[in-house]
Structure 1
Amino acid sequence: MLALPFAQKATPVLKGERITLRLPVGRDYEQWAALRQASRSFLEPWEPLWSVDELERSGWRYRLERNRTEFKTGSGIGFLVIDNAENRVTGGITMGNIRRGVAQTCQIGYWMGENYSGRGYMLDALNLVIPFAFRELRLHRIEAACIPSNARSVRVLEKAGFTREGLARSYLRINGAWQDHLLYGLVCDDARS
């Protein structure tokens, strides 16, 4: 089954008890940049090298445009994680590399600001994204990868029901070096049981 591009569907807002997932908009810049700056040393070991303009408004505009393009073409959705009580940006979660045809799959990536980590917000975000991916987008499989030493990421994926499927050597260039990654998968039938 071939899905329509997202642009022909309503913009998704996924609401949970503690958090809301929504697409970023221009006015989110200050909160996003302040959180990323305050969490820089916490995030850098797990992310690609930050660009020179990573936290500049120009970098934000580029990020928004890329998110809009991916959304319009149906190849990805980048959500901000918003704390409902504080109405504050706490992190982000992305469904990227959405593939249709015989694959019907996507890859997820996520980050959480240091002050919000360890509170269960990312598990809440995954618990919103998973049914959205399987029910609304009609995907069959969600994939994720994390560096083996990232115990928090391993824990959140396993709590969300993902199965460890293997190790990809030198999989992604993270913080300036090629890093091995644990590969995780979740298929729609697993999520239903």
Structure 2
Amino acid sequence: MSTVPGWPVELRHGPVTLRPWRLTDRRAWDEVRRRNAGWTGPWDSTRPPESIEPPLTFAGMVRQFNKRARQGSMLPFAVDYLPPEQRRPALAGQLTISGITYGSASWAQAGYWVDQRWAGRGIIPTALALAADYCFFTLRLHRLEVAIRPENVRSLRVVEKLGFRHEGFRPRYMHVAGDWRDHEMFALHADEVGPGLLARLENLP
């Protein structure tokens, strides 16, 4: 099985850093998730009642993430942000590249969320641009997808800002917030990104 080059991977631009999850993140994870329950809850993926997978603890999630990353099927990033008023970075969110497939498909899918405390600072657009450039230029993937619920206006703004192409509507596409939910699908191909999404983001007016 293919392995992700150089995993663990850390990507950084300005105050935003993408890094692997650590077991020592548990306290910060618990605090951020508890404080953001109302902010992220409507958009959080959930497992359907018929799922045969057991629920994961935080430690189990980290171990599973890093195992899949070493196998080459996932890039599970914690998103750190260093505010100008602080000396140490804060855990600001999550960005996951999942379903990495090579061969004739050569694609993956991105998902993300940000702590409401830091929303509006360009953290997730930067994080997605960093991860997408890594997928296209290092992993040499052909396609990156993002599936977003039609009601999630903030997430829609992220892909619009980065120039993802809208491909259509997928009914009952993913189990989110306790039910199968409709999603809009956005994608980019490697031959559409030019010098990269980070460069595109920096050149926005």
**TM-score above 0.5:** yes
Query: What residue in structure 2 maps to residue 67 of structure 1?
Result: 65
Determine the C-alpha separation between the residues in 2 that align with 1:75 and 1:10. Answer: 12
How much does 1:10 deviate? 4.2
Aligned positions of 1:83-122 closer than 5 A: 83-85=81-83, 86-122=88-124
The amino acid across from 1:64 in the alignment is V
How much does 1:18 deviate? 1.6
Determine the C-alpha separation between the residues in 2 that align with 1:163 and 1:90. Answer: 26
Aligned positions of 1:159-178 closer than 5 A: 159-178=161-180
How much does 1:47 deviate? 1.0
CA contact (8 A) 2:7 2:70 kept: no
Q: 1:19 aligns with which of 16, 20, 25?
A: 16
3-state SS in 2 of match to 1:125:
helix
CA contact (8 A) 2:7 2:69 kept: no
What is the TM-score normalised by the length of structure 1?
0.90
The amino acid across from 1:34 in the alignment is E
Determine the C-alpha separation between the residues in 2 that align with 1:23 and 1:160. Answer: 24
**Structure 1: segments with no counterpart, 5+ residues:** 51-57
Give the aligned CA root-mean-square deviation in angstroms. Answer: 1.8
Determine the C-alpha separation between the residues in 1 that align with 2:159 and 2:80. Answer: 20
3-state SS in 2 of match to 1:118:
coil
CA contact (8 A) 2:150 2:183 kept: yes
**Structure 2: segments with no counterpart, 5+ residues:** 48-55, 196-205
- Percentage identity across paired residues of the two chains: 30
Query: What residue in structure 1 maps to residue 74 of structure 2?
Result: 76
What is the TM-score normalised by the length of structure 2?
0.85
The amino acid across from 2:116 in the alignment is E
Determine the C-alpha separation between the residues in 2 that align with 1:115 and 1:184. Answer: 26
How many positions carry a matched residue from both structures? Answer: 184
Q: Alpha-carbon deviations, 1:8-61, whole Å to 9, x = none?
A: 6242100111200000111111111101110011111001248xxxxxxx7111
Q: 1:158 aligns with which of 157, 160, 166?
A: 160
How much does 1:65 deviate? 1.2
How much does 1:177 deviate? 1.4
Q: Alpha-carbon deviations, 1:132-174, whole Å to 9, x = none?
A: 1111111011001000010101110111121110000111111
